[in-house]
Amino acid sequence: MAKLRTRNHKVVLARSAGGDAGITVMLTLLGAFMFLPMIYVVMQSLKPLDELWMYPPKFYVMNPTFANFKSLFSLMNISWVPFSRYIFNTVFTSVMGTFGHLFIASLAAYTLAKIKFPGGKFMFKTIQTSLMFHSTVTGVTSFIILSAFGWIDTYLAIIVPAWGSTLGLYLMKQFMDSHVHDTVLESSRLDGAGELRTYWIIAMPMVKPAWLTLIVYSFQGLWNAGASTYIHSEQLKSFNYAIGQITAGGIKRAGASAASTVIMMLVPIMVFIFSQSNIVETMGSSGMKD
Amino acid sequence: MSNRTAEKKAVARKDITMAQWIWKEMKRNWIAYVMVAPYMLIFTIFTIAPVILSVVISFTNFNMLEMPDFVFLDNYIMLFFDDEIFLTACTNTFIFAGIVGPASYLLSFLVAWFINELPPKIRALVTLIFYAPSISGQVYLIWGTLFSSDSYGWVNATLLNLGLINEEIAFFKTEQYVMPLCIVVSLWTSLGTSFLSFIAGLQGVDRSLYEAGAVDGVKNRWQELYYITLPSMKPQLMFGAVMAITGAFGYGGIVTALCGFPSVNYCAHTIMHHLEDYGGSRYEVGYSSAIAVVLFAIMVGANGLVKKILSKVGT
């Protein structure tokens, strides 16, 4: 290795200045395309009403104000069902759906990844295949099944199907495949621990990034869930739905509407900021091998 | 333990039949079945059963109120020969998914590749900027504000100012603009799971391979990409493709939110919309199930095709 062109023991990779410049330009243009609309959302929410309806419209805000957020909160106070109820609905379904999913899916993921048993491969193949279609395809028949259980218009219609989410199980299983080593499990079994104990005491602590990923994915899905076709009662509806309703009131509520968009997007973005490194680590083993 | 298992297997294979051996293995691993049972039960009820039920119902004229009649292929015949809107929907779906799917895949990969060599903190920030639109719920409605049909819309105002147009354009109500705009907005929200998977995949490529490549005469980053990077992250490329294809068929909500339902002259009407129309609003469950089965077949077929193509990468 000593004869290579090295700088601080690192091989100098083939990189041209022109390529670097080209990539920087491309990245800046794409970044502007992605980022400017997000900035505009924030700008809109800080504009006083006269700036929202100004001609010609300005991209940036001249006299930033939190008036829109204030009017959003006062609109929340006069809603027919108390707003705390909508918040409770979203938090309750998110928490129940997410934790049920985490336990049930990780238990199955451990079994499929680390125990060889007849039918296991087939089960995982089926789950992997189901990643290939969007759940809206089966919306109508899911409705029929849920109504056969008598779950329409109850929390169960939101929570229980969330436990069976496919992507979460898939990511957890792949992560266990590459991060939990068989030798560690073997020694635990030799010490006399049963499979359940091995799963809980040995395997689970080794896959914390995957837990967090499952939690974030499940939470994001439930947080962004709008009006569900399975829920009719006003007092069972989600925060996202309610906030859409109160801000759909036309010109007068344009300010509050802009403020609500900012609140709805800030939560998932904050969650992602804190979990990013763990999620990316989990994605490292997301690959499909066949 | 492992030794004993191996012995058992060897012995078992010699003096009993395959079926008996499987039964023995099943009994020995009974705990595994208990452990997968909760998930598999829910997965079967809410993912597998709806698919099977759709296929069964698609051969009937079920309307949720009366007992279904068996009509065999009638629904499918009507769909393909008597329903012009469905054929429009098919064309739109193929155009839409055919552009958004590959474009979002390529965009995800290119951006992930561009930022791969940035310092970790900057990379995390850029990742956030590109990923944020895909997780922010209905934030895409901002495009409706930007392209609003009156002169308070930023795009219309700018075009008027520059003298390029004489009166405002109702972008989301004019046929020629609807599809391109919806495609752009969908792309804007499409850097999701596959994007993160690519970032992780690129980070995971063994650096010593690049160094070995440099020694072996890799001249520029394109050769490096083709000969080293792509083959090393093939599993991520597969997973990303599945995510991108599945996503590409699922952007119906964006179209409805921006253009209303139905879109002008059904110009952005996709199979997903057709399905929701018949299943959700008209309660023609038999007919809508036939639509669902067709869409299902298209999604799984597209995935199969792309997987075949990808398996040739770098071989």
Average pLDDT over residues A174-180: 92
Per DSSP, the three-state class of A226 is: coil
- Give the DSSP H/E element, type plus range, for residue A7: strand A6-7
> In this structure, are residues B261 and B314 in contact, taking their beta carbons and an 8 Å threshold?
no
The confidence band for A6, taking pLDDT boundaries of 50, 70 and 90, is very low
Q: What is the CATH number of the domain that holds A240?
A: 1.10.3720.10
Q: Are A150 and B260 in contact (CB under 8 A)?
A: no
Same domain, A183 and A249: yes
Name which of A132, A204, A261 to mutate to probe chain B: the one with the most chain B Cβ atoms within 10 A of its Cβ: A132
Quote the pLDDT of residue A11. 56
Q: Are residues A108 and A242 in the same domain?
A: yes
Chain A: give the shortest CA distance to residue B142, in Å. 6
- A221, A115: one domain: yes
What is the widest separation between alpha-carbon atoms in chain B?
89
Burial string for B131-158 (b: 16+ CB within 10 Å, else e) reads: bbbbbbbbbbbbbbbbbbeebbbbbbbe
User: What pLDDT score does B131 carry?
Assistant: 94
DSSP bridge pairs for A7: A10
List the one residue out of B256, B103, B95 whose CA is nearest residue B191.
Answer: B103
Q: Where in the sequence is the domain holding A49, given as residue range(s)?
A: 16-65
Q: Please determine, for residue B94, whether its predicted confidence score (pLDDT) is greater than 70.
A: yes
Q: Which of A8, A41, A65 is the last residue of a domain?
A: A65
The answer to whether residues A107 and B24 touch, using CB atoms and an 8 Å cutoff, is: no
Residue A3 lies in a domain: no
Q: What is the DSSP string of A196-218?
A: HHIIIIIIGGGGHHHHHHHHHHH
Residue range A201-220, pLDDT digits in tens: 999 999 999 999 999 988 88
B141 CB neighbours in chain A (<8 A) are 261
Nearest CA to A98 out of A156, A157, A159, A176 is that of A159
- Would you place residue A102 in the very low, low, confident or very high pLDDT band (cuts 50, 70, 90)? very high
Residue A8 confidence (pLDDT) above 60? no
CA B60 to chain centre: 29
Q: Are residues A146 and A189 in the same domain?
A: yes
Cite the DSSP H helix spans in chain B. 2-15, 18-28, 30-43, 49-57, 74-81, 84-114, 120-135, 142-146, 154-161, 175-188, 193-204, 207-215, 221-224, 230-232, 234-248, 252-259, 271-276, 285-310
Domain B73-310: CATH architecture, name and number where available: Orthogonal Bundle (1.10)
Domain boundary among A6, A37, A65: A65
Report the domain count for chain A: 2
Whether the bond between A118 and the residue before it is cis, its omega within 30 degrees of 0, is no
Regarding whether A105 and A56 lie in a shared domain, the answer is no
Distance CA A188, CA A115 (A): 14
Residues A225 and A157 in one domain: yes
Per-residue model confidence (pLDDT) at position A232: 83
Q: A58 and A90: one domain?
A: no
Contact residues, B window 248-287, toward A, CB-based 8 Å cutoff:
249-250, 252, 272, 275-276, 279-280, 285
Say whether both A165 and A45 belong to one domain. Answer: no
A195 in any annotated domain: yes
- pLDDT tens readout for residues B253-301: 888 888 888 888 888 898 988 988 888 778 888 999 999 999 999 999 9
> What is the DSSP-derived secondary structure letter of residue A6?
E
- Output B62 or A8, whichever has higher pLDDT: B62
Q: ipTM, 2 decimals?
A: 0.88
- pLDDT for the residue A290: 66
Amino acid type, B156: N
Does residue A104 sit in the same domain as residue A180?
A: yes
Residues A263 and A216 reside in one and the same domain: yes
pLDDT in tens, B62-88: 887 788 888 889 899 999 998 889 999
Cα separation of A4 and A13, whole Å?
11
| Shortest Cα distance, chain A CAs vs residue B255, angstroms | 15
Average pLDDT of chain B, as a whole number = 87
Question: Do both A152 and A28 map to the same domain?
Answer: no
Find which of A230-244, A251-265, B26-40, B212-226 is predicted with most confidence, using mean pLDDT. Answer: B26-40
CB nearest A55 (choices: B114, B152, B196):
B152
One-letter amino acid at B213 equals G
Which of A65, A96, A122 lies at the terminal end of a domain, its last residue?
Answer: A65
Residue A3: pLDDT above 50?
no
Residue A71 pLDDT exceeds 90: no
Answer yes or no: is A135 within a domain: yes
CA distance A180 to A85: 42
Residue of B41, B52, B106, B135 for testing the chain A interface, max A β-carbons within 10 Å: B135
Whole-structure pTM value: 0.89
pLDDT above 70 for B100: yes
Examine residue A255 and state whether it is found in any structural domain, yes or no.
yes
With a pLDDT cut of 90, the percent of chain B lying above it is: 41
Task: For residue B113, give the nearest of B2, B250, B205 by alpha carbon.
Answer: B205
Say if residue B14's pLDDT is above 70: no
Asked if residue B197 lies in contact with residue B131, where contact means CB atoms within 8 angstroms, the answer is no
CA atoms of B208 and A282, how far apart (whole Å): 22
Annotated domain spans of chain B: 1-57, 73-310
Cβ contacts of B149-153, under 8 Å, gap ≥ 24: B149/B173, B151/A55, B151/A56, B152/A52, B152/A53, B152/A54, B152/A55, B152/A57, B153/A57
